[in-house]
């Protein structure tokens, strides 16, 4: 196996497909320049390996290769995009011709392409890239995970453990003449446990990873913690009571509950929705959209995080963008197209699922800064409410601002104490005012374990979130206990 | 079609140590155009091919896939899959279906449009007309996320190392639009679409646009309601998502993992007698139709639930053997191997009109949109965000938002008091309007 992660993107694509920077410039120059406001070519090579253990044995092992090139021409608000999975000069020329057709119709708008920003970071150089690690070591880890989850409790009857290893090589060539590449490792360990007792069955899931090497899972017994967490959650839920229904005070635990930010404000602050005026946050720059305890940041530069990137998928270095500062809306996340049309700077948030899609503004790692309160004091301050610590997915209606996120592990709070575990329930709120009711912010900011995948307009990208313990007064909890 | 290429790959697998192999090759080309506020916004052209492979080393198996169909790459993929198969465990239930079970003739399901393709300009014009109709139909429609027109042409080839190879072609064509309605600073967005195998079956773009506009405008002035347990009526779009959850719980992989609320319920009552759910792969020109499944087995009509009684699971060869049953020929290929999927899945219509259903309710919620992922496939526990219209004295009144609807899928299906007569196969999964006797609506 080629060691993708130790390669240089420029020489990788030159060696493998005979595609060099000069040639890309020629494709861009002869086909696109002078006819479009901006143009780029994106090359990608991806290898993904999945190992899955079920019923104590390795049931599934698979390896996937995908490669391709996307050519884009931008003119005014118009985007022409063509992609091919056969990287050759002839196909690149054809893709450029198709992408250009749209620009030809529009002509040049006169808006100047924004310059690139910053040099690429070096956030995830690994001594041993994910695909280099021996299969035997990976399979051994999965067996240990299975054993630990089963040993945790006799009620655990089924364990599914999977390990995904991926390496992606990218290269972007832009019309302004620069070429920038990245080599992106990504690993994820996932554990699902099913517990059974007294005719009831429940499921618990836990996992994590990032742009890390295999050894990440061995550090501090991380794999064991993941296994025990999945088992604990499954068993705990066997005894859960019906969740309450209605509006109440909700305390969110630290880490993954940061999905609240991703749904409540994150998507609404992506440049495209604001340029089009379809976001509930459109036109609210400089206004108060959260309590003064709330500062929200999107940061693509945290080393080894799942949502981090050295450069985004348009070649712009990622950055740290303050979205909300002490309650005031101060920033949007931008790609090149929307930055140009809004007269703002790109923020390194132009991302795409693969070469098959044009980029758009997306989040990286989105989190709230820690405050001053002790987490225990926050719980103590609640007379009756819900304490939610683990979540599944969430979703938002950008335009109305209504968002949901689903708690998979939650407890009642009664007279300042955490009491009975409750069944999963969806929480629903309104983005532009949910954060105005943040009454307490803990000092315990935690980033999630590295499991997030965000979907937008059919494109999935890895992301991270983070949150300290917070108290929100009045959030609607969708339980069944009236 | 690269039949020789796929057969060559399977031969190489056997020559290098695999005991058997099967593979799927998909070739597709697609076009999409979006128009926003009358201006072209994005035009995309694509051409893709993807080969996925499953190899067996005795009773152990592994998968591989690639979009790089060069000879060197294919050889490497085969070799890697064969060596991966050697590290996976022996599994007595793994293996290809028996060769004599494979389909002999491929039925013509009329899945490909023979009419001449439209030019990019003509497709852009359809999107433009769709959006224009939405924008012009009501002064409160002030903005738009755009309209899209897309088409796709694909060919699927399945082959096994025993020498079986069959293929079929499909097309699809669709238009959609997402207009935004505004009033007094409030914004509401909705969406409508029409998809079909053939362009002639796609709804008129202006009709799609006007429907989307009506849906967006009727959400203006939406408010929360008080938390209450009431009857809930699901419109056909949201009702289809409930049927999808039943299919997910009835699928083989969920069952043998014991991760399904339908485990051990075959032959028992899982829904009210008003409920019959069918999966039919052979509907001519159906969006979910397929002449054979992902393992080369003939497809047909499966009754999942008849008058409330669970009659069949949805199985591929592996999950069937594992459960001691027969495949129901619902195998589908994903990148990494074989999974189970439905074809044209529908809950059959009843006799009542939607307005009769609504008219029978004193106080309740009519749901037109669901968001979020609050469905537990193991327990059936259900809690999702909802938007819709409040029912008062049998009439739809004001719009409702920022509420959840919650219950348990088994109890919800038992409580389906009435089924509407308005089944339309708009998508691969479809249902008529459904009325559930009691659910908890959480709001203020």
Reported as a single tens digit per residue, the pLDDT across B134-187 is: 999 999 999 999 999 999 999 999 999 988 999 999 999 999 999 999 999 999
Give yes or no for B49 touching A (CB within 8 A): yes
Give yes or no for A19 touching B (CB within 8 A): no
Query: What pLDDT, on a 0 to 100 scale, did the predictor assign at position B86?
Result: 84
- C-alpha B210/C-alpha B275 separation (Å) is 32
On whether the pTM is more than 0.90, the answer is yes
CB contact under 8 A, A66 and B67: yes
Residue B346 near residue B283, CB atoms below 8 Å? no
CB contact under 8 A, A480 and B41: no
pLDDT at A1 exceeding the cut of 60: no
Residues β-bridged to residue B278: B303, B346
Nearest Cα of chain B lies from the Cα of A342 at a distance, in angstroms, of: 16
Residue B115 CB-density burial (10 A; 0-12 exposed, 13-18 middle, 19+ buried): exposed
The phi, psi pair for B256, rounded to 5°, reads -70, -20
Query: What pLDDT, on a 0 to 100 scale, did the predictor assign at position B372?
Result: 94
- Does the domain at A4-238 match CATH 1.10.3720.10? Answer given as no
Give yes or no for A247 touching B (CB within 8 A): yes
Instruction: Please calculate the CA angle A246-A250-A254 and round it to the nearest 5 degrees.
Output: 145
Phi-psi label, residue B347: left if phi above 0, alpha if psi -120 to 50, beta otherwise: beta
Reported as a single tens digit per residue, the pLDDT across A289-310 is: 999 999 999 999 999 999 999 9
- C-alpha B348/C-alpha A434 separation (Å) is 41
Residue A193 is inside which H or E element, if any?
A: strand A179-197
Give yes or no for B257 touching A (CB within 8 A): yes
More confident residue, A17 or A108: A17
Residues near A452 by beta carbon (within 8 Å), at least 6 away in sequence:
A256, A259, A262, A306, A307, A462, A463, A464, A465
Per-residue DSSP letter, B161:
T
Tally Cβ neighbours within 10 Å of residue A97: 18
Per-residue DSSP letter, A270:
B
- C-alpha B400/C-alpha B373 separation (Å) is 20
Residues β-bridged to residue A66: A46
Reported as a single tens digit per residue, the pLDDT across A352-370 is: 999 999 999 999 999 999 9
Query: What pLDDT, on a 0 to 100 scale, did the predictor assign at position A20?
Result: 81
- Give residue A110's pLDDT band: very low, low, confident or very high (50, 70, 90): very low
Cα-to-chain-centroid distance, residue A287: 27
Give buried/exposed letters for A412-450 (b at 16+ CB in 10 A, else e).
bbeeeebeebbbbbbbbbbbbebbbbbbbbbebbbbbbb
Give yes or no for A477 touching B (CB within 8 A): yes
pLDDT at A103 exceeding the cut of 70: no
CB contact under 8 A, B45 and A81: yes
Q: Enumerate the residues of chain B whose CB falls inside 8 A of the CB of residue A424.
A: 374, 376, 381, 383
Give yes or no for B106 touching A (CB within 8 A): no
pLDDT at A111 exceeding the cut of 50: no
- C-alpha B235/C-alpha B221 separation (Å) is 20
User: Any idea where the domains of chain A sit in the sequence?
Assistant: 4-238, 245-478
Q: Enumerate the residues of chain B whose CB falls inside 8 A of the CB of residue A406.
A: 372-374, 383
More confident residue, A152 or B72: A152
Per-residue DSSP letter, A243:
P
| B62, B65, B371 member nearest A397 (Cβ) | B371
Query: What pLDDT, on a 0 to 100 scale, did the predictor assign at position A78?
Result: 86
Query: What pLDDT, on a 0 to 100 scale, did the predictor assign at position A352?
Result: 97
Q: Enumerate the residues of chain B whose CB falls inside 8 A of the CB of residue A84.
A: 46-47
CB contact under 8 A, A59 and B88: yes
Q: Region B313-334: what's the mean pLDDT?
A: 95
For CA atoms A338, A344, A349, A355, give the dihedral sign: positive
Give yes or no for B370 touching A (CB within 8 A): no
The distance in angstroms from the start CA to the end CA of chain B is 59
Reported as a single tens digit per residue, the pLDDT across B339-379 is: 999 999 999 999 999 999 999 999 999 999 999 999 999 99
Q: Region B230-243: what's the mean pLDDT?
A: 98
Residue B328 near residue B265, CB atoms below 8 Å? no
Per-residue DSSP letter, B200:
G
- For chain B, which domains are there? 3-217 (3.30.2290.10), 228-241+349-442 (no CATH), 244-347 (no CATH)
| B69, B373, B403 member nearest A428 (Cβ) | B403
Name the average pLDDT for chain B.
95
Task: Report which of A312, A281, A296 is spatially closest to residue A433, judged by C-alpha positions.
Answer: A281
Percent of the residues in chain B that have a pLDDT greater than 90, as a whole number: 91
- C-alpha B168/C-alpha B2 separation (Å) is 13
Q: From the candidates B402, B403, B411, which should be mutated to test the interface with A, based on the most A CB atoms within 10 A?
A: B402
CB contact under 8 A, A402 and B387: yes
Tally Cβ neighbours within 10 Å of residue B112: 17
**Integer Rg of chain A from CA:** 24
Query: What pLDDT, on a 0 to 100 scale, did the predictor assign at position B122?
Result: 95
Nearest Cα of chain B lies from the Cα of A358 at a distance, in angstroms, of: 9
Q: What is the largest CA-CA distance in chain B?
A: 73
Q: Region A21-40: what's the mean pLDDT?
A: 75
Max avg pLDDT among A99-113, B89-103, B243-257: B243-257
Query: What pLDDT, on a 0 to 100 scale, did the predictor assign at position A119?
Result: 82
Reported as a single tens digit per residue, the pLDDT across A406-432 is: 999 999 999 999 999 999 899 999 999
Query: What pLDDT, on a 0 to 100 scale, did the predictor assign at position B398?
Result: 98
The distance in angstroms from the start CA to the end CA of chain A is 58
Q: Region A467-475: what's the mean pLDDT?
A: 97
Nearest Cα of chain B lies from the Cα of A334 at a distance, in angstroms, of: 17
Task: Report which of A174, A211, A176 is spatially closest to residue A313, judged by C-alpha positions.
Answer: A174
Query: What pLDDT, on a 0 to 100 scale, did the predictor assign at position A482?
Result: 84
């Amino acid at each position: 196996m080629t060691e993708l992660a130790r390669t240089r993107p420029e020489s990788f694509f030159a060696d493998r497909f005979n595609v060099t920077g000069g040639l890309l410039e020629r494709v861009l120059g002869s086909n696109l320049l002078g006819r479009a406001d901006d143009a780029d070519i994106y090359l990608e090579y991806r290898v993904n390996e999945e190992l899955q253990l079920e019923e104590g044995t390795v049931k599934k092992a698979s390896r996937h290769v995908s490669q391709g090139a996307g050519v884009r021409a931008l003119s005014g608000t118009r985007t022409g995009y063509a992609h091919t999975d056969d990287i050759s000069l002839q196909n690149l020329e054809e893709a450029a011709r198709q992408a250009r057709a749209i620009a030809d119709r529009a002509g040049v708008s006169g808006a100047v392409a924004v310059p690139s920003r910053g040099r690429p970071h070096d956030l995830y150089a690994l001594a041993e890239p994910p695909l280099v690690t021996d299969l035997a070591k990976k399979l051994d880890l999965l067996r240990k995970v299975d054993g630990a989850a089963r040993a945790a409790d006799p009620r655990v009857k089924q364990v599914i453990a999977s390990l995904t290893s991926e390496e992606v090589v990218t290269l972007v060539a832009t019309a302004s003449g620069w070429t920038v590449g990245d080599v992106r490792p990504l690993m994820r360990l996932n554990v699902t446990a099913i517990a059974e007792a007294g005719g009831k069955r429940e499921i618990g899931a836990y996992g994590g990873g990032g742009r890390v090497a295999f050894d990440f899972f061995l550090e501090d017994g991380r794999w064991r913690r993941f296994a025990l967490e999945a088992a604990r959650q499954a068993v705990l839920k066997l005894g859960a009571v019906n969740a309450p229904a209605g509006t109440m005070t909700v305390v969110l635990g630290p880490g993954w509950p940061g999905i609240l930010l991703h749904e409540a404000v994150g998507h609404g602050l992506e440049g495209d929705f604001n340029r089009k005026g379809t976001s509930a946050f459109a036109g609210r720059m400089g206004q108060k959209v959260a309590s003064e305890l709330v500062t929200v940041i999107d940061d693509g530069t945290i080393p080894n995080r799942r949502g981090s990137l050295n450069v985004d998928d348009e070649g712009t270095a990622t950055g740290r963008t303050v979205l909300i500062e002490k309650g005031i809306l101060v920033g949007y996340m931008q790609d090149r197209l929307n930055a140009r049309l809004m007269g703002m700077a790109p923020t390194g948030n132009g991302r795409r699922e693969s070469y098959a899609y044009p980029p758009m503004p997306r989040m990286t790692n989105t989190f709230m800064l820690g405050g001053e309160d002790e987490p225990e004091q926050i719980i103590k301050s609640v007379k009756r409410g819900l304490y939610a610590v683990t979540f599944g997915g969430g979703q938002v209606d950008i335009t109305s601002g209504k968002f949901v996120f689903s708690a998979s592990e939650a407890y009642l709070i009664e007279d300042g104490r955490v009491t009975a575990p409750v069944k999963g329930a969806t929480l629903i709120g309104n983005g532009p005012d949910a954060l105005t009711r943040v009454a307490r912010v803990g000092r315990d900011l935690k980033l999630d374990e590295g499991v997030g995948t965000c979907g937008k307009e059919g494109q999935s990208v890895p992301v991270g979130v983070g949150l300290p313990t917070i108290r929100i007064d009045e959030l609607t909890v969708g339980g069944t206990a009236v | 079609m690269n039949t020789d290429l796929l057969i060559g790959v399977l031969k190489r697998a056997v020559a290098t140590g695999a005991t058997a192999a099967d593979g799927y090759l998909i070739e597709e080309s697609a076009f999409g155009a979006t128009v926003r506020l009358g201006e072209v916004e994005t035009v995309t052209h694509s051409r893709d091919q993807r080969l996925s492979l499953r190899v067996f080393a005795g009773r152990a198996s592994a998968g591989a896939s690639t979009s790089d169909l060069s000879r060197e790459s294919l050889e490497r993929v085969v070799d890697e899959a064969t060596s991966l198969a050697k590290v996976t465990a022996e599994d007595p239930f793994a293996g290809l279906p028996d060769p004599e079970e494979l389909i002999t003739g491929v039925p013509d399901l009329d899945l490909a449009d023979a009419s001449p393709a439209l030019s990019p300009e003509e497709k852009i014009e359809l999107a433009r007309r769709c959006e224009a109709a939405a924008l012009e139909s009501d002064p409160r429609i002030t903005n738009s996320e755009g309209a899209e027109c897309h088409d796709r042409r694909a060919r699927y080839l399945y082959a096994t190392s025993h020498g079986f190879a069959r293929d079929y072609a499909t097309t699809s064509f669709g238009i959609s639009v997402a207009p935004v309605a505004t009033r007094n600073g409030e914004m509401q967005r909705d969406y409508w679409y029409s998809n079909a195998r053939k362009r002639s079956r796609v709804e008129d773009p202006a009709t799609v646009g006007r429907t989307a506009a009506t849906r967006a405008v009727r959400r203006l002035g939406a408010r929360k309601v008080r938390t209450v347990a009431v009857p809930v009526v699901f419109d056909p779009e949201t009702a289809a998502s409930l049927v999808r959850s039943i299919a997910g719980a009835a699928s083989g992989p969920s069952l043998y993992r014991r991760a399904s609320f339908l485990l051990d319920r075959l032959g028992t009552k899982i829904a009210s007698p008003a409920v019959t759910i069918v999966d039919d792969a052979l509907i001519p020109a159906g969006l979910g139709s397929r002449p054979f499944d992902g393992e080369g087995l003939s497809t047909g009509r499966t009754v999942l639930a008849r008058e409330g009684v669970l009659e069949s699971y949805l199985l591929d060869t592996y999950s069937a053997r594992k459960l001691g049953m027969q495949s129901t020929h619902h195998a589908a290929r994903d990148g990494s191997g074989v999974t189970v999927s439905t074809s044209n899945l529908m809950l059959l219509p009843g006799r009542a009109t939607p307005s009769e259903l609504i008219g029978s309710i004193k106080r309740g919620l009519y749901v037109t949109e669901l968001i979020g992922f609050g469905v537990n496939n193991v327990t059936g526990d259900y809690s999702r965000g909802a938007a819709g219209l409040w029912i008062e004295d049998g009439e739809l009144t004001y719009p409702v938002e920022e509420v959840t609807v919650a219950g348990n899928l088994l109890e919800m299906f038992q409580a389906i008091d009435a089924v509407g007569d308005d089944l339309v196969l708009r998508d691969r999964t479809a249902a008529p309007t459904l009325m559930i006797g009691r659910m908890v609506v959480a709001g203020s």
